[in-house]
């Protein structure tokens, strides 16, 4: 059973991590597409419409992969986590079903119109379809985050006679304070992915000396939205999320910070490796008292270390929680610095000529993906050993009759399938970037064209 549990966890972790590569760009680009379409509508400049069409093509590829890798996520609650679903389905099934009914229908309907209907719809109606796609994808994000937030911080439930978890307050579930902060933090992270992809592609065009008008638009939009986003991500969003963890999941906070001993004036570890065996941090580089201040706004406040909690309630993979948290914060800080310098150069009118900065922007393209993924690993591995924090332990949730062999089989199947999808995705997106945003004259004649 022990063996099967580990594979079930790996199965979900692998498929959800791969899946989230796509929605973060979908949600981020959806916002940037609305901005581009709005600029096109207000200025009447066809340049912005062409820019929007270029990103819509990439959006389409990315969206398709988000859809096909997303369906397995909903299924896995039942296939791999049947006991959890039986106990808690009456609660989290609500938000998952609402996602399908309220956002997927909206998103899929208007995406069809957005991608295929520009000619027939006219500029205003086409702008409207872009807004609806944005609403659909951001609503979907909320309902998924609300589902996860309930597992992080269960509210609005009651226990039934056979131990099943019953919904007691619909609005309690939907307006879970954890969900509100986690949503803003997650969506802003997705916007940053969108900004760095757009800015990175723009920088690539400028460095290559091609499609420079588009390159400047992409870099400008990416940097302006990006600098606002990176600042907000650190404060107030990341800060608020951290304080929620400190308040409701103190053992997780201790694991994230690598704090083994409860202390007053607790430090923040910038570097160091947690040695769980000996309960200490090796090679530490500490900022004294910073953790106490960040958590409680008092330099001498007491922060609980892992020693305050029974070992069975510790997250079971402390180094993973610690490192993913540090990677997220570290990358967030680097991205803030990059966008701040780029924004300053943009303001001084020197960014488009500054090849060094353009190189940095291009190479930063993967970093928000890593930061977003690391953030989710922190949240979900940090939640362990609980499936529903404080209420339901992870080993109690698996499907009793689905044995390790079956899960290995499908995990390997997904790995192979997703490897192919990943290669196809990179190939097709690179091809779109290579073909560029200019309307294709040759293609126009042959296909009837996108224009």
- Contacts with another protein in 84-143 (CB under 8 A)? 85-94, 96-102, 104-106, 108-113, 115-117, 119-121
DSSP alpha helices (H): ranges in 349-438?
Answer: 355-363, 367-383, 404-435
Q: Is the CB of 140 or the CB of 324 nearer to another protein?
A: 140
Of 203, 229, 187, 195, the residue nearest 55 (C-alpha)? 195
Give the number of residues in contact with another protein, rule: CB under 8 A: 76
Residue 384 beta carbon to another protein: minimum distance, rounded to whole angstroms: 21
For residue 397 the two structure tokens come to: 């949730």
Comparing CB distances to another protein, the nearer of 77 and 214 is 77
Q: Minimum distance between the CB of residue 222 and another protein, rounded to whole angstroms?
A: 25
292 near another protein (CB under 8 A) = no
**What distance separates the 2 farthest-apart alpha carbons in the chain?**
72
With CB under 8 A as the contact rule, the residue among 5, 41, 82, 370 that binds another protein is 82
Q: Which CB, 23 or 305, lies closer to another protein? A: 23
Q: How far is CA 218 from CA 33, 34, 44, 151, 200, in A?
A: 11, 14, 18, 38, 8
Applying CB under 8 A, the span of 66-74, 359-367, 369-377, 387-395 interacting with another protein comes to 66-74
Q: How far is CA 255 from the centre of its chain?
A: 21
The smaller minimum CB distance to another protein, of residues 166 and 287, is found at 166
Give the DSSP letter of residue 430. Answer: H
Give min distance, CB of 362 to another protein, in A. 24
How many other CB atoms sit within 10 Å of the CB of residue 75? 10
13 or 96, CB closer to another protein? 96
- Can you tell me which of 213, 285, 419, 424 binds another protein, judged by CB under 8 A? 424
Q: How far apart are CA 259 and CA 279, in angstroms?
A: 9
> Taking the complex as a whole, how short is the minimal distance between the CB of residue 78 and another protein, in angstroms?
3
Stretch that binds another protein, among 195-203, 260-268, 318-326, 403-411 (CB under 8 A): 403-411
Q: Using the minimum distance from each CB to another protein, give the nearer residue, 106 or 207.
A: 106
How many residues are listed for the chain in this entry? Answer: 451
Of 3, 6, 42, 71, which one interacts with another protein (CB under 8 A)? 71
CB of 52 to another protein, least distance (A): 16
Question: Which of 77, 71, 72 has its CA nearest to residue 92?
Answer: 77
Distance CA 121, CA 142 (A): 29
Under 8 Å between Cβ of 154 and 390: yes
Q: Which range binds another protein by CB under 8 A, 21-29, 76-84, 329-337, 379-387?
A: 76-84
| Binding positions for another protein, 35-64, rule CB under 8 A | 60-61, 64
Among 17, 79, 263, 354, binds another protein (CB under 8 A): 79
Q: What is the DSSP letter of 288?
A: T
Out of 243, 406, 436, 439, the only residue in the binding site for another protein (CB under 8 A) is 406
Paired tokens of 374: 């690391």
Q: Which is nearer to another protein, 89 or 315 (CB)?
A: 89
Q: Which stretch binds another protein (CB under 8 A): 41-49, 306-314, 317-325, 408-416?
A: 408-416
**Are 121 and 127 contacting, i.e. CB atoms less than 8 angstroms apart?**
no
DSSP category for residue 164: -
Reduced DSSP (H G I as helix, E B as strand, rest coil) percent helix, strand, coil of the chain, to 5: 75, 5, 15
Q: Which of 209, 400 has the CB closer to another protein?
A: 400
Residue found by looking up tokens 């399908």 in the block: 100
CB of 407 to another protein, least distance (A): 8
137-196 residues in contact with another protein (CB under 8 A) are: 158, 160, 164, 166-168, 170
Regarding 430 and contact with another protein (CB under 8 A), the answer is: no
Residue 14 touches another protein, criterion: CB under 8 A: no
Cα 350 from Cα 398, distance rounded (Å): 57
Rounded Cα distance between 267 and 270, Å, is 9
Q: Which is nearer to another protein, 119 or 124 (CB)?
A: 119
Q: Phi/psi at 267 (nearest 5 deg)?
A: -90, 165
Say how far apart CA 437 and CA 418 lie, in whole Å: 28
* Rounded Cα distance, 30 and 192, in Å: 12
Residue 264 in the binding site for another protein (CB under 8 A): no
| Contact between 395 and another protein per CB under 8 A | no
- Please state the closest distance from residue 383 (CB atom) to another protein, in A: 21
């Amino acid at each position: 059973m022990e063996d099967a549990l580990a594979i079930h966890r790996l199965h979900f972790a692998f498929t959800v991590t791969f899946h989230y590569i796509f929605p973060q760009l979908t949600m981020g680009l959806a916002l940037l597409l609305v901005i581009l379409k709005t600029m096109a509508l207000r200025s009447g400049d066809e340049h912005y419409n062409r820019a929007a069409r270029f990103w819509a093509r990439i959006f389409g590829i990315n969206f398709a992969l988000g859809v096909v890798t997303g369906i397995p996520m909903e299924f896995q609650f039942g296939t791999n986590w049947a006991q959890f679903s039986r106990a808690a389905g009456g609660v989290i099934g609500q938000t998952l079903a609402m996602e399908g009914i309220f956002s997927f229908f909206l998103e899929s309907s208007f995406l069809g119109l957005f991608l295929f209907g520009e000619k027939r719809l006219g500029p205003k109606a086409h702008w409207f379809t872009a807004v609806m796609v944005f609403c659909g994808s951001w609503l979907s994000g909320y309902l998924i985050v609300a589902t996860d937030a309930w597992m992080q911080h269960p509210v609005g439930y009651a226990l039934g006679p056979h131990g099943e978890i019953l919904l007691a307050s619909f609005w309690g579930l939907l307006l879970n304070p954890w969900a509100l902060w986690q949503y803003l933090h997650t969506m802003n992270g997705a916007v940053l992915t969108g900004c760095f992809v757009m800015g990175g592609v723009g920088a690539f065009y400028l460095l290559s000396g091609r499609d420079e008008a588009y390159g400047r638009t992409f870099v400008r939009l990416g940097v302006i939205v990006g600098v606002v986003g990176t600042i907000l991500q650190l404060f107030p969003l990341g800060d608020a999320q951290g304080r929620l963890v400190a308040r409701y999941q103190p053992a997780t906070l201790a694991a994230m910070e690598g704090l083994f001993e409860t202390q007053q004036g607790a430090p923040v570890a910038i570097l160091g490796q947690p040695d769980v065996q000996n309960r200490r941090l090796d090679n530490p580089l500490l900022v004294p008292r910073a953790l106490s201040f960040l958590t409680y706004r008092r330099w001498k406040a007491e922060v609980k270390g892992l020693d305050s909690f029974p070992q069975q309630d510790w997250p079971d993979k402390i180094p993973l929680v610690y490192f993913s948290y540090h990677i997220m914060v570290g990358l967030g800080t680097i991205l803030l610095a990059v966008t701040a310098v780029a924004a300053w150069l943009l303001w001084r009118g020197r960014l488009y000529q500054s090849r060094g900065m353009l190189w940095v922007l291009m190479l930063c393209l993967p970093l928000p993906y890593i930061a977003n993924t690391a953030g989710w690993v922190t949240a979900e591995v940090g939640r362990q050993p609980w499936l529903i924090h404080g209420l339901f332990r992870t080993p109690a949730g698996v499907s009793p009759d689905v044995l390790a062999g079956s899960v290995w089989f499908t995990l390997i199947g997904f790995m192979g399938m997703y490897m192919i999808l990943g290669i196809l995705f990179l190939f097709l997106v690179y091809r779109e970037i290579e073909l560029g945003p200019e309307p294709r004259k040759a293609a126009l004649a042959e296909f009837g064209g996108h224009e």
